[in-house]
Amino acid sequence: MTNDKSIKSWLPLALVIIAFVALGGYYSLTIPLWEAPDEPSHFHYLRYLLEQKKLPTPESGFDTWHHPPLFYLIAALAVSDVDLSDYINWRRPNPKSFIVDQTNPTDGPPGIQLHSRRELPPYRDIPLAVHRLRWLNVLFGALAVAAAYALAQKIFPAQPWLAVGAASVVAFNPQFIFTSASLNNDAALTAAFSLGLLPAVAIVQGDYRWRQFAGLGLLAGLAILFKQSGLALVGVAGAAIMGAGWQSRSWKRLFKWSAWFGIPLALLTGPFYLRNALLYGDPFAYKMHRAVHPPTEARTLWDVIGSVKILNRLHQTFWGYFGWANLPLPEIVFKILLLIYPLALLGLVFWGIWGRRRWAKPKGGAAPVALLLLAIAVACVIPLRYIMTFGAFGMQGRYFFPMIAALGVVVSLGFYSLLPGKWRSLPVMGLSLALFALALWTPANIIRPAYPYLGDLPAILQTRQVERADNFANVIELAGYSAGLNESDGRLKLTLFWRALGLPQQDYTIFVHLLNPADGALLSQDDRRPLDGDFPTTLWRPGDVMRTVHTLQLSEAPRPTLYILEVGLYNWKTGQRLPLFQDGQATDSAVYLEYLAE
């Protein structure tokens, strides 16, 4: 019977985790390559480990050099069998993105990359590695979800809906799913921090076995080695251990417990901090980091927490600002999500006055809940300090995710305490279902439409009326064309289908000349760069398929029944045409297509 109860108690968690993993996979498949914060830099780090067999320094050439190595070591092992040599050919910056063009606002075109259908399944090489690592992070995210559930069960074992709500707040936060479905070290940090709260809560509940302290030290060390923001867990651990020492009234026990905590922590983090101290004269490498990335927009703490604009930005990026923090949920959704805070706070007030003695008695008294509130506060210190130093660069809700499991428990407790008696679970259930619906709706309606894949048309080459195979210098092929006349305005619409054969070294402009077949006279012309310059040919890669649409004005009546279309490419800087090859030899500089006007 006990086993049956145990299975039933963990069945809701299994369902939430299955839903989270499914959503994580959905988001991972939807997010194009490199369209999540710092994905290229994180990928650089693990490539550096695989190629150089040493930790990076500021001279290594990527922004994530200062991060601890644990996540990247795990990531490098996960993709060690994948060919990563073609990395540079998978980086095609969008010339209109706010990162490439500093004159564009951050709320402009969201994509920092240009994307082709080569990124889509079946994956190989670089896309295979990135998606494998995204799945690794989905698993880390699932650990954070499980930790939230376990925390609620540990503190409120008689209220199963509290655990479901806590797990759901974590699992169905669209931004957390997005972060867990991307390549970064945030998901691993969040998992270690969330799991670390379990032994911390056990300690304040009176469990003073050595394994709780050692486990807390181990998880704190892992959190720090994932990302230095994990230092916040040391603060939470210190409070739990000091509280245990106060309860025991024994300096000897306090020293022993501190040693059990500190030894695994020191063994794990000591080598990394010693290396930093020897290289940079600073165990945290903070001075070097500030030298490489000088502080901007310095603010006081009150400038941050007293600014409605900043707090609103943090609220939005905590729940749903995708891409490189430039692709938001609709404004109305953010306004609805704002209701979570006052409702949870109101419920917590009800619980504090009546509930902690009646409908939701915490195991171990109020101390475990107080520890979770402390964990939320402590986990906010480092990101707030980051905002104070680096301004807008640090205003990202994902930096606050280490405390999301604790927040999930607290929010669930608040919602559980809003209604009386048998209705108590309804607000928790409603919040969970609403967040799940939002998380499910987001990829198809917010993320996917923002990133057009070049050549992302149904069976693009099948739309050709005429198939061709004209080879321009072994780098670009005219694969076909279709043409049609608009009788109302006398314009000819010509659609050209191009396929990349190699790696073009120049930016070429496509020219189309409409010629009179009788005397070769130029009747009309249209010269344009691919996608009007948004996809220059230097960014084309073998296998890319592109179409360009050209509109040409036909001559006034009487019109010829047959037109000749001269098509080719030229270097827009020099005017030199790209030669047409046949049997490996240059034979011309254009192809000549026929159009019969009916």
pLDDT digits (tens, 9 = 90+) for 17-73: 999 999 999 999 999 999 999 999 999 999 999 999 999 999 888 888 899 999 999
Instruction: Give the mean model confidence (pLDDT) for residues 126-139.
Output: 97
pLDDT digits (tens, 9 = 90+) for 225-236: 999 999 999 999
Instruction: Give the mean model confidence (pLDDT) for residues 343-367.
Output: 91
Instruction: Give the mean model confidence (pLDDT) for residues 390-417.
Output: 93
More confident residue, 405 or 545: 405
377 and 432 both lie in a single domain: yes
39 and 81 both lie in a single domain: yes
More confident residue, 138 or 584: 138
Phi, psi of 16 (to 5 degrees): -65, -40
The chain-wide mean pLDDT, for the chain, equals 89
Domain annotation covers residue 200 = no
Instruction: Give the mean model confidence (pLDDT) for residues 456-484.
Output: 77
- The answer to whether 408 and 194 are in contact (CB under 8 A) is no
324 and 442 both lie in a single domain: yes
Q: Is 144 helix (H, G, I), strand (E, B) or coil?
A: helix
- Say yes or no to pLDDT of 108 above 70: no
pLDDT digits (tens, 9 = 90+) for 194-221: 999 999 999 999 999 999 999 999 999 9
Domain annotation covers residue 258 = no
158 and 17 both lie in a single domain: yes
Instruction: Give the mean model confidence (pLDDT) for residues 152-163.
Output: 94
pLDDT interval class at 556 (50, 70, 90): low
436 and 529 both lie in a single domain: no
Q: Which amino acid is at 530?
A: P
- The answer to whether 548 and 495 are in contact (CB under 8 A) is yes
pLDDT interval class at 8 (50, 70, 90): low
pLDDT at 559: 63
- Say yes or no to pLDDT of 411 above 50: yes
Domain annotation covers residue 534 = yes
431 and 575 both lie in a single domain: no
Domain annotation covers residue 203 = no
pLDDT at 455: 52
Taking CA atoms, 518 is separated from 144, 554, 596, in Å, by 74, 15, 14
- Say yes or no to pLDDT of 248 above 90: no
Instruction: Give the mean model confidence (pLDDT) for residues 449-467.
Output: 63
Residue 425's CB is within 10 A of a number of other CB atoms, namely 18
Give 11-32 as a 3 state SS string. HHHHHHHHHHHHHHHHHHHHCC
Instruction: Give the mean model confidence (pLDDT) for residues 377-383.
Output: 95
Q: Counting beta carbons within 10 angstroms of the beta carbon of residue 558, is it exposed (0 to 12), middle (13 to 18) or buried (19 or more)? A: exposed
482 pairs with which residues across the strands? 495
- The answer to whether 226 and 185 are in contact (CB under 8 A) is yes
Domain annotation covers residue 176 = yes
Domain count, the chain: 2
More confident residue, 516 or 171: 171
pLDDT at 197: 99
The C-alpha atoms of residue 328 and residue 184 are separated, in whole angstroms, by 20
CATH code, 531: 2.60.40.150
In whole angstroms, how large is the CA radius of gyration of the chain? 30
Domain annotation covers residue 268 = no
Instruction: Give the mean model confidence (pLDDT) for residues 324-339.
Output: 96
442 and 390 both lie in a single domain: yes
pLDDT interval class at 521 (50, 70, 90): confident
CA atoms within 13 A on the CB side of 384: 16
pLDDT interval class at 557 (50, 70, 90): low
Note down the domain range covering 524.
460-596
The C-alpha atoms of residue 516 and residue 79 are separated, in whole angstroms, by 58
pLDDT interval class at 4 (50, 70, 90): very low
144 and 173 both lie in a single domain: yes
Taking each helix axis as running N to C, give the angle between helix 231-248 and helix 251-280, from 0 to 180 degrees, rounded to the nearest 10: 160
pLDDT digits (tens, 9 = 90+) for 502-511: 988 888 999 9
Domain termination residue (choose one: 450, 468, 487): 450
Domain annotation covers residue 221 = no
Domain annotation covers residue 113 = yes
Phi, psi of 29 (to 5 degrees): -70, -30
- Say yes or no to pLDDT of 346 above 90: yes
115 pairs with which residues across the strands? 453
Taking CA atoms, 229 is separated from 202, 222, 232, in Å, by 23, 11, 6
Taking CA atoms, 258 is separated from 118, 370, 412, 500, 531, in Å, by 54, 21, 32, 63, 63
563 and 470 both lie in a single domain: yes
**Token duo for residue 215:** 């486990």
Instruction: Give the mean model confidence (pLDDT) for residues 490-499.
Output: 88
Domain termination residue (choose one: 450, 475, 491): 450
Q: Which amino acid is at 526?
A: D
Domain termination residue (choose one: 450, 484, 508): 450
- Say yes or no to pLDDT of 2 above 50: no
Instruction: Give the mean model confidence (pLDDT) for residues 303-308.
Output: 86
- Say yes or no to pLDDT of 297 above 90: no
pLDDT at 374: 98
34 and 168 both lie in a single domain: yes
432 and 499 both lie in a single domain: no
- Say yes or no to pLDDT of 456 above 60: no
494 and 536 both lie in a single domain: yes
